[in-house]
A = this chain, B = another copy of it.
Amino acid sequence: MDIPSHFLERAVGQFSQLPGIGHKTAMRLVLHLLKWERKDVDAFADSLHELAENVRYCKVCHNVCDGEICPICASTKRDHATICVVESIQDVMAIEATQQYHGVYHVLGGIISPMDGIGPQDLEIESLVKRVGEGDVNEIILALSPTMEGDTTSFYIFRKIALYTDVTITTLARGVAQNEQLHYTDELTLGRSIVERRAFKSNP
């Protein structure tokens, strides 16, 4: 497609580098931006400059933050003896949104995936082992995705921290999802949820 403006072409090229944004979508987004007022487009651009300049990662848990330590690690209201190990920053936000967890986190920054060339040394596993080794940790929750890669990573971490026998290692419950139609549930999940059935509570 021949683009009649160099500036338009450049902005479209930038947008199409983002994941899931093809050339046509990029064009649609940029033409939408052209309808904005000049100051709004500048504010958009400035927010990216400031993002690149100011965003930091928490020294303790590697979550994204504005300073040295993220608000969760800095909070005295959280249980610092319970560490929830997650793959990414999105996972921290997803678990926070449930309002069911009051411990702290450890963001690995990925999972072990030989297909993508990601090994244990590329992830924040050593720093997790160090946190556990420094004591004061009661429980490690391995909250990784229930996939081949997630399970591999969980097992690797389990092997690394199992020698600290005073630390409980747990993982997320697996089973049928809330509000899911039973006959749409995949066989593996349904089979596992029968094998690992639990006592019925009238108030679950």
Instruction: Let me know if B11 and A19 touch, CB within 8 A.
Output: no
Q: Which A residues from 27 to 58 make CB contacts under 8 A with B?
A: 27-34, 36, 38, 41-56
Question: So how many copies of this chain end up in the complex?
Answer: 2
Instruction: Let me know if B43 and A14 touch, CB within 8 A.
Output: yes
Q: Give the Cβ gap from A17 to chain B, nearest Cβ, in Å.
A: 8
Could you say which of A66-74, A156-164, A172-180, A190-198 contacts chain B?
Answer: A66-74
CB-defined interface of A54-93 with B at 8 Å, one 1/0 digit per residue?
1110000001111000111000000000000000111011
State whether the Cβ of A165 lies closer than 8 Å to any Cβ in chain B. no
State whether the Cβ of A7 lies closer than 8 Å to any Cβ in chain B. yes
Instruction: Let me know if A51 and B8 touch, CB within 8 A.
Output: yes
A97 to B27 CA separation, bound complex (whole angstroms): 14
Interface residue tally of chain A, by bracket? 35 or more
Q: Which A residues from 1 to 22 make CB contacts under 8 A with B?
A: 1-8, 10-11, 13-14, 17-21
A45 to B72 CA separation, bound complex (whole angstroms): 30
Instruction: Let me know if A8 and B48 touch, CB within 8 A.
Output: no
State whether the Cβ of A122 lies closer than 8 Å to any Cβ in chain B. no
A residues neighboring B (CB under 8 Å): 1-8, 10-11, 13-14, 17-21, 25, 27-34, 36, 38, 41-56, 63-66, 70-72, 88-90, 92-94, 96-97
